[in-house]
A = this chain, B = another copy of it.
């Protein structure tokens, strides 16, 4: 197999024709496959079925105050401990919420807009134009929350060690309108990158121009390995304590991709100052979250070791799926020089960078052939990937068989779109050269 860039116009033309024929054939199969979202598969959800009815009347009655009743706003002490261990915090630094960490992030940011935080001069909605840094590629729902709340988004490129910290420092330390940054520090969405120790330390040592600057540290994949090799993430809060910046961090986690994605437990963590301020506001908003579900999870896992043991079962299901996608990419795409990708040790995604200007076309070809991918551009604020090249692949949801087929369609679409693009480029370059000669 030759690299596409080295092919002549005629060779590319013939290639495109044969790929198109192959594509038409696969399109006629009428596939209906979904690799669009980081959704656990049915087999993964089946792993937690014992959670469903694990609580006995005795369990319920052994806890005081009554978990069935109102109250205990910050959550069940045992569950606060479990999330504290997960995030590397103290239990009193944890607030256990409902079923969705995204909702907690939205709500926390909305509180910034409505009220400001404990060290804010005024609500962020009264600060004129404010901005958030968004490492890219990143998580589309972070960007959705930010855009919805009317906060301008500035992109920062991801490197292999996390966001480009030279740029982050330059911006955060000099522009007081920058109020925060989104981070998925471990197995980042979609790159699967874990921030290096240096990156974490530089986050802890930011000197923000905005004194109420906040790092939204979405540790969504802190126990979500898909390989025997586990990444390690330095504890940001420990580093912040050393630097005296612990008030600048909000951390988030959940069991959404541990037990049931729709019926898990989510939590946020923060310093005592932030907690006091937020709890006072939340106490006006609700009398408490679902403590029965918290107790259910606590009984099921007992502690963080229980969670880790459970995550090994997820890994056993996820690892072969990641391997399937990577194998296809390695075998079918790598020799052609038309795309690059990461090999993450955890998380839910493989981040694929195709030739610039091809991502939308690849996603569109896949869709026509019955394979739904995350829309191209979704990994960038406002849905605009300036180079139109990043595609987020979510291998978790399809069965192994479906995934084989879906990845085949994906690879074919990458090849077809690349051949089309290179052909068009060569033709344009050729006719320009001709034009030059004639002139």
B residues in contact with A67, CB < 8 Å: 262-263
User: CB-CB contacts of A20-53 with B at 8 A, as 1s and 0s?
Assistant: 0000000000000000010110100100110011
B residues in contact with A145, CB < 8 Å: 284-285
- A69 and B262 within 8 A (CB): yes
Q: Does A158 contact B (CB under 8 A)?
A: no
**Copies of the chain in the assembly:** 2
- Label chain A's interface by main secondary structure: loop
Which listed residue (B40, B114, B263) contacts A293, Cβ 8 A? Answer: B263
Q: Which of A96-133 contact B (CB under 8 A)?
A: 98-100, 102-103, 106-107, 110, 113-115, 123, 125
- A40 and B52 within 8 A (CB): no
Which listed residue (B55, B103, B285, B287) contacts A285, Cβ 8 A? Answer: B103
B residues in contact with A288, CB < 8 Å: 100, 262
- B285 and A70 within 8 A (CB): no
B residues in contact with A290, CB < 8 Å: 98-99, 262-263, 290, 293
- B114 and A69 within 8 A (CB): no
Q: Does A320 contact B (CB under 8 A)?
A: no
A37 to B60, CA, bound (A): 22
A144 to B284, CA, bound (A): 6
| CB proximity of A104 to chain B, nearest CB, Å | 9
Q: Does A66 contact B (CB under 8 A)?
A: yes
Q: Does A400 contact B (CB under 8 A)?
A: no
- B53 and A66 within 8 A (CB): no
Q: Does A57 contact B (CB under 8 A)?
A: yes
Q: Does A14 contact B (CB under 8 A)?
A: no
A262 to B281, CA, bound (A): 19
| CB proximity of A73 to chain B, nearest CB, Å | 10
Q: Does A71 contact B (CB under 8 A)?
A: yes
| CB proximity of A196 to chain B, nearest CB, Å | 30
- B285 and A106 within 8 A (CB): yes
| CB proximity of A62 to chain B, nearest CB, Å | 13
| CB proximity of A419 to chain B, nearest CB, Å | 36
| CB proximity of A119 to chain B, nearest CB, Å | 19
A60 to B292, CA, bound (A): 19
Q: Does A211 contact B (CB under 8 A)?
A: no
Q: Does A229 contact B (CB under 8 A)?
A: no
| CB proximity of A125 to chain B, nearest CB, Å | 6
A141 to B288, CA, bound (A): 13
Q: Does A291 contact B (CB under 8 A)?
A: yes
- A281 and B39 within 8 A (CB): no
A123 to B110, CA, bound (A): 13
- B57 and A55 within 8 A (CB): no
- B125 and A286 within 8 A (CB): no
A106 to B125, CA, bound (A): 18
| CB proximity of A298 to chain B, nearest CB, Å | 14
A28 to B144, CA, bound (A): 60
A-B contact list, 22 entries, CB within 8 Å: A42-B66, A45-B68, A67-B263, A68-B262, A69-B261, A99-B289, A99-B290, A100-B289, A102-B285, A106-B286, A110-B110, A114-B114, A123-B125, A125-B125, A141-B284, A144-B284, A145-B285, A147-B284, A262-B287, A263-B291, A290-B293, A293-B293
Residues of A within 8 A of B (CB): 37, 39-40, 42, 45, 48-49, 52-53, 55, 57, 60, 66-72, 98-100, 102-103, 106-107, 110, 113-115, 123, 125, 141, 144-145, 147-149, 256, 260-263, 281, 284-293
